[in-house]
Amino acid sequence: MIKIFLGALAGVLCVLLGVNDIITGVMVSLAVYFGSDRILKQIFIEKVKKQSSITRTGVGIYIISWIFFWILIYTFVYTYG
């Protein structure tokens, strides 16, 4: 659930920053992902055996939700706005 929210946040951030190309969008998305990864590792440090499992868990849904929300919000803003 956290990774879905973070993907949506990255998508919204891409629209707010006016990102038009995929390279910049990927950079924004990676910055959000790895920034939140450091925070999540501190929060869940005692609840998991391997710290790398925090990084790998939910990466697929993060990417899917980031792309979905970026396209959806971008379409609404630049088509109807």
Nearest to 63, CA basis, from 19, 12, 10: 10
pTM of the model: 0.86
- The predicted pLDDT at position 48 comes to 77
Q: Which domain holds residue 8?
A: 2-80
- Give dist(CA 54, CA 10) in Å, integer: 18
47 SS3 class = coil
pLDDT in tens, 5-48: 999 999 999 999 999 999 999 999 999 999 998 998 888 888 87
Number of domains in the chain: 1
- The predicted pLDDT at position 5 comes to 96
Say how many CA atoms lie within 13 Å of 27 toward its Cβ. 7
Return the axis-axis angle of helices 2-16 and 59-80, rounded to nearest 10°. 30
pLDDT in tens, 47-81: 877 777 777 788 999 999 999 999 999 999 988 76
